[in-house]
Chains A and B, each alone.
Chain A
Amino acid sequence: MDLNLIWFVLVGVLLTGYAVLDGFDLGVGILQPFVRKDEHRRLFLNAIGPVWDGNEVWLVTGGGALFAAFPEAYATVFSGFYLPFMLLLCALIFRAVAIEFRSKEPWPWWRAMWDWAFCLGSFVSALLIGVAMGNIVRGIPLDAHHEFAGTLLGLLNPYALLMGITVVLLFAMHGAIYLVMKTEGELHDLVRGWVPRLIGLFLAAYILFNFYTLIDLPHIYVTVRTRPWILLVIAAAVLTILNIPREFSKGRDFAAFASSCAGMALMMAAFGLTYFPNMVLSSPAPENSLTIWNAASSPKTLGIMLIIAVIGVPLVLTYTACIYYIFRGKTTLTKHSY
C-alpha cells in the first residue's frame, strides 16, 4: 500500500483519537457551570482527572505526526491560522491549569475563578477546533507556494462558525455521556436527564451542517456524487448516536459511551473519506491545494515513521487501556482528588 495513504489514515487516527478522548474532557468543561454544588463540580473534574493529560497527548502527537509526514500542511495550516491557534493554545493552557489549581484552595472566589477558566477554556478550545475544521472542509485560499492567502475575518465565516457550534454540542453530548458512566446517585440522574436534549441539539446541528455543506460547497457535493457510500457512513454515524438513548434505557452506561465514541469515529471517517486525497483544500484556486502527495515528506521518512508507529502505537494502546482499566468504575473523592 502507498505510504502517503497510510500516513493520511494514521494522522486521521491520531486526530480521531484526540477528538474521541479529549472530546469528553472538553465536554465536561463545557457542562461544568450547569452543576452548582462544589462537590459535584469536583466530581466532574475528578471524572477526567487521571486521564485528561494523556488525552491531550493525542493532539500533541497528532500535530507531531502531521509535521513529520506532511510538513507542508503543518506549516501552511499553523501559520495561516496564526491568531486562532494562539488563542486555542491559551485556552488549552488555562484549562490545564484550572484543572490542576482549582481544588488546591478552599476559598469560594478561588474556585469560582478557576471554574470559569475551566469552562471558558474548554468552550473556546472546542469552538476553535470546530472553526478550524470547518475552514479546512470549506477550503482556504492558498497561493502557488501553498501559503495562506486569506484573512483572519475570512476564517470566521458562517459555515466554519456553524461547524464550531456543532463541535461544541458534540463534545458537550459526549462529555455528558462520559459523566453518566462515571457518576452515581443524584448527580448521575441529573446528568442522565441532560443527555436526550444534548443528543437532540447536536443531531439538529449536525444535520443542518450536512445540508449546509451540500448546498454551500459544490465540490463536496461532487465528491459525494462520485463516492455515494459516504452517505452510508454518515447514516451509520447518525444511527450510532441514536443508539445511545436505547443503551441508556437498558441501563448500559458503558455501551452508551462506546456508542458515542463510535459515532464520533464514524463522523471523522466520513470527513476523511470526503476530503481524501486533500490535506489542505485551496478555495478558490483548487490547483494550489495541498494533497497527500505534494505535502508529504520523502518516502524514506514516511517509511521510518511507519516503523516508529508500528513500535510505538501498540505500546501506547496497551498502557492507555491499562490506565483506563485501573481507573474504571465510578469516580469518588479522596485525599488525592482535585
Chain B
Amino acid sequence: MDAEILARVQFAFTVMFHYIYPPLSIGLGIALVLMEGIWLKTGNILFHNMARFWTRIFALTFAIGVATGIVMEFEFGTNWATYSRFVGDIFGSALAAEGIFAFFLESGFLAVLLFGWNKVGPRVHFFSTCMVALGAHFSAVWIVVANSWMQTPAGYHLERMVDGKPVRLPLDHAVTPADLGSVRAVVDDFWAMVLNPSTIDRLTHVVLGAWLAGAFLVVSISAFYLLRRRHEEFARASLKVGLGFAIVATLLQMVSGDLTAVGVSRNQPVKLAAMEGLWDTQPYAPLTLAGWVDAKAEQTHGPAIPGLLSFLTWHDAAKPVAGLRQLPPDDFLRRFHPEATTPEQLATVRRNYWPNVPAVFQFYHLMITVGVLLLGLVLVSAFFWWRGWLWRTDWRPTRLLLGALVLSVLGPQIANQAGWFAAEMGRQPWIVWELLKTSQALSKVVTAHQILASMLMFTAVYALLFVMFIFLLTRKIQHGPDTEEESEELPDSWKAILRLDDQSSRA
C-alpha cells in the first residue's frame, strides 16, 4: 500500500477512536450541569448522588479522550508535514487557541470536579462543573473552526516565497506540486477565517451530535436500571434528565441537519451531489431514501421521492439541483487543466474531482437513517412519558421501549462517525477545499513502512484501551450510584444544603 492510503487510514483510525470520547464528554458535561444545578436548586440528595455517579462515568470518558487527543494534535506534523507547512499560518492558530482557551479550562477545573467534592463549597464546585462543560464546548468550537476552514477556506490569500520575500498570488492560483515548499496560505482576516461560510452550521451540528451522545448515554444506563429494577428511584430521575435533554437535542438536530445540508449545497455542491447520489443536474431533483450507487454506470438505484431534493435545497421543487456530471463546473476544471478543451476531455478530468461517491452516499444515508430512528424513539418515549406509561416497568410495551432506549446509546455514536465520514470523504480529493489535494499534503520524509509500523502500534494500544474502557464502564454500571445518605467526608457547606432538604421535606 502506498503512503497516502496508509496515512489517511491512520488518521481516520486515530480520529475515529478519539471521537468516541469527546462527544460523550461534551454531552455529559451539559448533563452534569443540569443534575448539579437541580440539586443546588432543590436540595434533593437524589440529584447529588446522580451528579456523583455520572461524574465517575465522565472521568472515564474524559481520560481516554485526553490521552487519544494528544495524538491528533501532533499527527498533523508527523503524517501531514506538507499540509502543516502550507496552512500552518491559519490552521495552527486555531489549534493553539484550542489549547489556550479550551484545554486549560477543561483540565484545570476537572480537578475540582473530580477531587474537589470535599475541598470546595457546593457553589464553587458547581461553577467548576460549568467551566469543564464550557471548556469542552470551546474545544469543539476551535477544532470545528479549523476543520470548517478546510471545507470552506476564507479570509486568506496565497503567497510565494521568492528570495525570502513573500509575493502575493492571484486569488485563482491553482497550486501545483512544484509550488509545494514555496507557496503557503496566509491569513488576511482572522474573523473571516474563523467565521468561514460553513463554521456556524457545522459547529451547531457537531455540538448537537455531541449532546445526543451524552444524553443517550444517560438514557441508556438509566433505562437499563429500570429494566433490571435496580436503583429505581435514581434511574427514574436520571432518565427524566437524560430524556428531556435528548428530546431537545434531537429536535434541534433535525433543524441543524437541514441547515447544514443546505449549506453544503451552496458551498460544496459536488459533495452534496455525492451524498445524495445525484448524477444529472435536474429540476424536481429526487431525494433517494436508501439504495446503492453504481459508480461504473454512474447511476443511483433505490426508492426516491421526486422533487424533494430540490425542495429541501431551494425550498422550490422546480429549481434544478446540480448533479455530478456537471460538477465541478467547466471553468473550474480549465483552471487546473488548461490542456482539456473538448467536452469529452473535461468529462474525463471531472471524474478526478469527485469523491468516492458510493461510500459518501452510504455514510450520509446511514447518518440520516439513524437520526430518523432516534427521532422516532424520542417521540415515542416522550408520548410514553406524557401518559405516565414510561414507569410501568412490568408492562410489555414499556419494557420493549426501555430495551430500545438501552440500545439507543449506539445511535449517536454511529451517526456521529458516519456523518464525519460523509463530511471528510466528501471533501476528497481535496484536503483544503479546491486549494490543496490530499495527495500533495503528506510528509515527504515519512515512508509507508514507518506509517504501517506506527499504525500497528496504535491499533494494539487502542484495542487494549477500548477493552479496558468497556470493562470499566460495565463495572461502574454494575456498581451503580451510591445510595447511602451522604458520608462523613462532606464538609459543612455541603451538609447545609442537605439539611435544607430535610427541612423542606418535613414542611
Measuring CB to CB, which residues of chain A are less than 8 angstroms from any residue of chain B? 49-51, 53-54, 56-57, 59-61, 63-65, 67-69, 71-72, 74-80, 82-83, 85-87, 89-90, 92-94, 96-97, 99-101, 104-105, 145, 147-149, 294, 297-298, 300-301, 304-305, 308-309, 312-313, 315-316, 319-320, 322-323, 326-327, 334-337
Contacts and interface: CB of A to CB of B under 8 A. Distances in A.
Contacts of A149: 445
A327 B113 CA distance: 12
Given A78-B77, A101-B468, A60 B454 contact: no
Contacts of A50: 111-112, 114-116
A99 B59 CA distance: 12
B336 interface: no
Contact of A301 (B68, B82, B90, B101): B90
Interface stretch (B117-125, B252-260, B377-385): B117-125
Interface in B85-126: 85, 87-93, 95-101, 103-105, 107-112, 114-120
Contact of B100 (A56, A61, A300): A61
Given A294-B164, A319-B104, 19 more contacts: A54-B104, A54-B108, A67-B95, A74-B77, A75-B81, A78-B77, A82-B454, A149-B445, A297-B89, A297-B92, A297-B186, A298-B89, A298-B166, A308-B101, A316-B104, A323-B109, A323-B111, A323-B112, A336-B118
B444 interface: yes
B64 interface: yes
A60 B85 contact: no
Given A59-B70, A313-B100, A71 B89 contact: yes
A214 to B, nearest CB: 31
Given A319-B105, A327-B119, A335 B450 contact: no
Given A147-B445, A305-B93, A57 B111 contact: no
Given A71-B84, A298-B186, A79 B445 contact: yes
A76 B461 CA distance: 26
Nearest to A152: B450
B475 interface: yes
Contacts of A97: 63-64, 67, 465, 468
A312 B103 CA distance: 11
19 contacts: A57-B104, A61-B100, A63-B77, A64-B92, A67-B84, A68-B96, A75-B85, A86-B453, A100-B63, A305-B93, A308-B96, A312-B100, A319-B108, A323-B108, A323-B109, A326-B111, A334-B118, A336-B115, A336-B118
B77 A67 contact: yes
Interface string B48-72: 0000000000011001101111110
Nearest to B95: A64
A65 B88 contact: no
B458 interface: yes
Given A54-B107, A71-B89, A79 B95 contact: no
Given A59-B70, A71-B89, A104-B472, A51 B111 contact: yes
Q: Mostly helix, strand, loop or mixed at chain B's interface? A: helix
Contact of B99 (A51, A64, A71): A64
B79 to A, nearest CB: 8
B76 interface: yes
B450 A83 contact: yes
Nearest to A100: B63
Contacts of B77: 63, 67, 74-75, 77-79
B443 interface: yes
Contact of B88 (A75, A96, A313, A322): A75
Contact of A74 (B92, B103, B164, B181): B92
B438 interface: no
B461 A94 contact: yes
B104 A61 contact: yes
A56 B74 CA distance: 13
B480 to A, nearest CB: 15
Given A49-B115, A61-B103, A68-B92, A56 B70 contact: yes
B393 to A, nearest CB: 30
Given A75-B84, A93-B67, A104-B472, A83 B108 contact: no
Nearest to A312: B100
A34 to B, nearest CB: 25
A186 to B, nearest CB: 23
Contact of A83 (B69, B187, B454): B454
Contacts of A68: 88-89, 92-93, 95-96
A306 to B, nearest CB: 11
A69 B92 contact: yes
A53 B243 CA distance: 31
Contact of B445 (A53, A71, A148): A148
Nearest to B111: A50
B496 interface: no
A79 B78 CA distance: 4
Interface in B163-202: 164, 166, 181, 184, 186-188, 190
Given A67-B95, A104-B475, A320-B104, A327 B115 contact: yes
A248 B77 CA distance: 43
B89 A75 contact: no
Contacts of B73: 60, 63-64
Contacts of B116: 50, 326
A246 to B, nearest CB: 32
Contacts of A336: 114-115, 117-118
Contacts of B111: 49-51, 53-54, 323, 326-327
Contact of B70 (A89, A99, A101): A89
A78 B99 contact: no
A39 to B, nearest CB: 18
Contacts of B187: 298, 300-301, 304
B372 interface: no
A101 B103 contact: no
B487 interface: yes
Contact of B461 (A56, A93, A315, A323): A93
Given A78-B81, A92-B67, A96-B63, A83 B88 contact: no
B143 to A, nearest CB: 11
Nearest to A322: B108
A97 B68 CA distance: 10
Contacts of A82: 78, 443, 445-446, 450, 454
A51 B457 CA distance: 28
Contacts of A69: 92, 96
A77 B77 CA distance: 8
Given A49-B115, A75-B77, A101-B472, A308 B100 contact: yes
A301 B92 CA distance: 9
B485 interface: no
A304 B84 contact: no
